[in-house]
Amino acid sequence: MERVRYADQVPLVYEVASIPEKFIKDFKKEEITSHFFQTLQQHGYRIGKSQQTIYARLAKEKIAHYLEVEKGHAILALTQVSYLEDGTAFEYVKSQYVGERFEFYLENN
- So where are the chain's domains? 2-98
What is the CATH superfamily name and number for domain 2-98?
Chorismate lyase-like (3.40.1410.10)
Secondary structure (3-state) at 109: coil
In tens, the pLDDT along 65-106 reads: 999 999 999 999 999 999 999 999 999 999 999 989 888 887
- Single pTM value for the model: 0.82
DSSP 87: S
DSSP 35: S
CB 37 within 8 A of CB 49: no
Torsion angle (degrees, nearest 10) of CA 100, 103, 104, 107: 140
How far does CA 35 lie from the centroid of its chain?
13
DSSP 64: H
